Structure 1
Amino acid sequence: MTTDTTDLELRTSRQLPAPPDVVWDVYTDAEKQQVWFSILDEEPGIVRIETDLRVGGRQTAVWGPSEDQLFTEVQTFVEVDPPHRLVSDTVASTPDGQTMTTRITLTFTARDGGTFVEVHQTGFPSVEVRDFFVEMGWQGAFDRIEAYLTRG
């Protein structure tokens, strides 16, 4: 994984062990997301995801340890080019009511028998939030997707 965190935006990437059409499907399909979203959790939490994967469509993801501690993320899809590129404007909310709006661009490129996924996310309100997304958000998502792809 490589990461660049200049100017309240991030760029990060990961090589995943499946072809782009499979990685795209795992990343965008709501039923598969509900599995990989919590695949590495010791305690099962709450995960609800609905997806309308088209330009102008939305994905709403709600997750957390309990009904009174839920995070919400609503993505509005700006560009949908399966299995190559996905762009969304995203509004994320924490259980205490804080919100943040970012733009996320993902590219899925066939490489070395798998898929090289690149993420470019802009609009972070602070360096601390951006760094959290680099260290925990995207790293955790990639770890979970990889676990889903390699489970026996």
Structure 2
Amino acid sequence: MTQNTETSQLRMTRVLPVGPEAVFDAYTDAEKQKIWFSILDEKPGIVEIDVDLRVGGRQTAVWGPDPDTLFRETQTFLVIDRPHRLVTESVGSSPDGMTMTTTVEVTFEAHEGGTLLTVVQSGFPTSETRDFFVQEVWVGALDRIEAYLRREQGRS
């Protein structure tokens, strides 16, 4: 995994063990997301996801450990080029009421029998928020997606 940051942008990569189609589907399918969102949790939390995968459509996710500690994110799909590229405008809120709007571009490139997934997220209000997303949010999400894909790969 590599990471590169500017003041309001992050760039992260991860090589995943399956092809771009499977990674794209795991990233965008609501039922698959419901599994990987909580795959590494010791205690089940709350995960609600709805996806309308079309340009102008939205993905809404609500998750957290309990009803009083919920994160919410609504992404509006700006570009969908399955299985190569996805661009969204993301509006997120945390349990403390902080909200943030960013742009997220995810690319899926075939790479040595798997997929090189690259995330570029821009529009962070502070470098501290960006750094939190680099160190916690995206690392956690990519760890979960990878665990889900490895588990599915073991079943085939």
Shared fold (TM-score, shorter chain, > 0.5): yes
Query: Which residue of structure 2 aligns with residue 44 of structure 1?
Result: 44
Query: Which residue of structure 1 aligns with residue 90 of structure 2?
Result: 90
Query: What are the ranges of 5 or more consecutive residues in structure 1 without an aligned counterpart?
Result: none
Distance 1:71 1:7 in 2: 24
Query: What are the ranges of 5 or more consecutive residues in structure 2 without an aligned counterpart?
Result: none
> Residues 67-96 of structure 1: CA distance to partner in whole angstroms, max 9, x if unpaired?
111100000000011000000000000112
Q: Scaled by the length of structure 1, what TM-score is found?
A: 0.98
Structure 1 residue runs of 4+, over 3 Å off? none
Distance 1:15 1:81 in 2: 19
* In the alignment, structure 1 residue 130 sits paired with structure 2 residue 133: no
Query: Which residue of structure 1 aligns with residue 121 of structure 2?
Result: 121
* In the alignment, structure 1 residue 25 sits paired with structure 2 residue 25: yes
Alpha-carbon RMSD across the aligned residues, in angstroms, is 0.6
Deviation of the 1:111 alpha carbon: 0.6
Query: Which residue of structure 1 aligns with residue 140 of structure 2?
Result: 140
* In the alignment, structure 1 residue 58 sits paired with structure 2 residue 58: yes
Count of matched residue pairs: 152
Identity %: 62
Distance 1:96 1:10 in 2: 23
Q: Scaled by the length of structure 2, what TM-score is found?
A: 0.96
